[in-house]
Amino acid sequence: KPLVAGDNGRPGGLRGVRHIIAVSSCKGGVGKSTTSVNLALTLAQMGAKVGIFDADVYGPSLPTMVSPELRILRMDPETRAIVPTEYEGVKLVSFGFAGQGSAIMRGAMVSGLIQQMLTTAEWGDLDYLVLDFPPGTGDIQLTLCQTVAISAAVVVTTPQRLAFVDVAKGIRMFAKLAVPCVAVVENMSYFDGDDGRRYRPFGEGSGARIQADFGVPNLVRFPIVPELSAAGDGGTPLVVSDPAGPVGTAFMELGAAV
Ligand code: ADP
């Protein structure tokens, strides 16, 4: 049921945000940020008003993956609210746009900082705010779930067995907090060779097992695509440069799932 802006009980700058989508993974390097950014831009292409919050304090990836004109967050002198920067009409907040790095901090400090940045940013009227979670299922992630009512979670994994064990942890965390996990992304699932064959270098099927074991309604498989990696490093996400390609199509599927 669509929420009315201003009437959702969320704190501060989040009061006009209808749906908050958490994109999570238990390990780094599985493609969580790639998924967050391309999902957000796909939702925007589908006509929604969208924002991205990059909650990774230690290794923010948003500044590498997109190239907004303004690479720094401003503060509104009157309200003292953080003004998100923008790329392709999508509002962006990341610690990577905040100037100073934050190398040494305890978990509680990080949690506090994330909450403050998330809720003091003036998000305005949004259909979706995509939260790029830090990897793992520790205190920071828990606090984040408890601070803002998350509408749905997307869990990103790769096909290896180890990833299955870890990802189950992530889904259980969301279940405990009554956040529905609406989709599992099995990233780097396969690639299509020049010989016409489909290769699965990381093996088959943890995504399907997770879906079956936990009753997640959608499983979306993303291929290994060198262009996806190059686009991520180049500041123009692949769904922007090639919306009709295989990756763009897979993201439309994920967009429909959230
Ligand atoms: P995480 O947020 O989980 O740490 P990233 O989204 O930063 O992971 O992805 C890690 C690296 O893998 C990045 O260089 C990214 O471009 C690359 N990558 C992610 N998914 C794919 C894919 N399906 N095909 C090719 N490269 C990918």
Provide the pLDDT for residue 163. 77
What are the tens digits of pLDDT across the range 34-90? 999 999 999 999 999 999 999 988 888 999 999 998 988 988 999 889 999 999 999
pLDDT confidence tier of residue 254, bands split at 50, 70 and 90: very high
- 30 Cα to the center of ligand 1, angstroms: 6
Specify the range with the lowest mean pLDDT, choosing from 64-68, 94-98, 115-119, 161-165.
Answer: 161-165
- 224 Cα to the center of ligand 1, angstroms: 9
* Ligand 1 atom at shortest distance from the alpha carbon of 187: 23
Q: Which one is the CATH code of 12-257: 3.40.50.300, 2.60.450.10, 3.30.420.10, 3.40.50.1100?
A: 3.40.50.300
Provide the pLDDT for residue 103. 57
- 225 Cα to the center of ligand 1, angstroms: 10
Q: Using a pLDDT cut of 90, give the percent of the chain over it.
A: 63
Rg (CA), the chain: 18
pTM of the predicted model as reported, rounded to 2 decimal places: 0.93
The ipTM assigned to this model is: 0.99
Residue keyed to tokens 């692949």: 238
Integer Cα distance of 49 and 51 in angstroms: 7
Specify the range with the lowest mean pLDDT, choosing from 61-75, 162-176, 210-224, 238-252.
Answer: 162-176
- 234 Cα to the center of ligand 1, angstroms: 13
* Ligand 1 atom at shortest distance from the alpha carbon of 132: 2
Task: Give the mean pLDDT of 179-183.
Answer: 95
- 242 Cα to the center of ligand 1, angstroms: 17
Integer Cα distance of 134 and 49 in angstroms: 23
Residue 5 has pLDDT above 70, yes or no: no
Provide the pLDDT for residue 4. 41
Instruction: Indicate the burial class of 14 (C-beta count within 10 angstroms; 0-12, 13-18, 19 or more).
Output: buried
Provide the pLDDT for residue 102. 54
Residue 162 has pLDDT above 80, yes or no: no
Instruction: Supply the DSSP string of the chain, one letter for each residue.
Output: -PPPTT-S---GGGTTEEEEEEEE-SSTTSSHHHHHHHHHHHHHHTT--EEEEE--SSS--HHHH---S--S-EE-TTT--EE-EEETTEEEEEGGGSSS---S--HHHHHHHHHHHHHHB---SEEEEEEEPPSSSSHHHHHHHHHS---EEEEEE-SSHHHHHHHHHHHHHHHHTT--EEEEEETT--EE-TTS-EE-TT-S-HHHHHHHHHT-SEEEE----HHHHHHHHHTS-HHHH-TTSHHHHHHHHHHHH-
- 85 Cα to the center of ligand 1, angstroms: 23
* Ligand 1 atom at shortest distance from the alpha carbon of 231: 16
Ligand 1, atom 24, lies closest to the CA of: 224
Mutational test site, ligand 1, from 26, 32, 34, max ligand atoms within 8 Å of CB: 34
* Ligand 1 atom at shortest distance from the alpha carbon of 30: 3
- 74 Cα to the center of ligand 1, angstroms: 29
Ligand 1, atom 14, lies closest to the CA of: 229
Ligand 1, atom 15, lies closest to the CA of: 229
pLDDT higher at 161 or 103: 161
Integer Cα distance of 70 and 44 in angstroms: 19
* Ligand 1 atom at shortest distance from the alpha carbon of 34: 6
